Amino acid sequence: MTEEQEVFHRHIQRAGLKRTAQRDLILEVFLRTEEHLSSEDLYRLVQKEDPEIGQTTVYRTLKLLTDAGLAREVRFGDGRTRYEHNYKHPHHDHLICTSCGKTIEFYSEQLETIQDAIASKHGFETTHHTLRMFGSCSDCRDSSGTPKKEESAAEPRVRFASAPSTH
């Protein structure tokens, strides 16, 4: 049993909830996938191993994982919620390519410091923040006019059919 699984089970017990095969499987698949997954993405992956599992259970479990501190919600502007690992995968911000949908994670101590200073100047105590920078990645600019993925040229806004992220 991995550390994450232990965290999950402790959370489940603390909250008076129950351990089930579905939750175990969903967690397992989530952990092994290093991407920004929407509930639907995860549902499809989980389906391959157990076609009996329902969408609803995935939605509910993802919420549970978030409560347990194992997942973190991220939104890239296409209207669907994605989740990323939140255990031993510390805070970071995102660069989002609006043409191919690729995301790059980065962390800057300097940035954090300035943000803290700004917040306290305004009397705020911040719990968390999100910084998203939208633009075009070098790949997409190199092949100018021919974005990497075929569907991307059609949609000016950020919209990815499925979440292709590279960490």
Partner DNA sequence: TTGATTGCAAAGCATTTGCATGCTA
Partner DNA sequence: TAGCATGCAAATGCTTTGCAATCAA
Q: Which residues of the shown chain bind DNA in the complex (CB under 7 A)?
A: 12, 16-23, 38-40, 52-57, 59-61, 63, 79-81, 161
Give the residue with the Cβ less far from DNA, 16 or 145: 16
Give the residue with the Cβ less far from a second copy, 90 or 145: 90
Q: Compute the least distance from the CB of residue 7 to DNA, in Å.
A: 15
Q: Compute the least distance from the CB of residue 60 to a second copy, in Å.
A: 11
Size of the chain, expressed as the number of residues it contains = 167
Q: Point out which residues bind a second copy (CB under 8 A).
A: 63, 66-67, 69, 72-73, 75, 77, 81, 86, 90-91, 95, 97-98, 104, 106, 108, 110-111, 114-115, 118-119, 122-138, 141, 160-167
Please tell me the number of Cα atoms within 13 Å of 111 on its side-chain side: 11
Q: Compute the least distance from the CB of residue 54 to DNA, in Å.
A: 3
DSSP-based three-state secondary structure for 144: coil
CB 149 within 8 A of CB 101: yes
Instruction: List Cβ<8 Å contacts ≥24 apart for 148-151.
Output: 148/99, 148/100, 148/102, 149/100, 149/101
CB 149 within 8 A of CB 100: yes
Q: Compute the least distance from the CB of residue 161 to DNA, in Å.
A: 4
Give the residue with the Cβ less far from a second copy, 46 or 137: 137
Give the residue with the Cβ less far from DNA, 68 or 140: 68
Helix (H) or strand (E) holding 105: strand 103-106
Q: What is the DSSP string of 43-54?
A: HHHHHHH-TT--
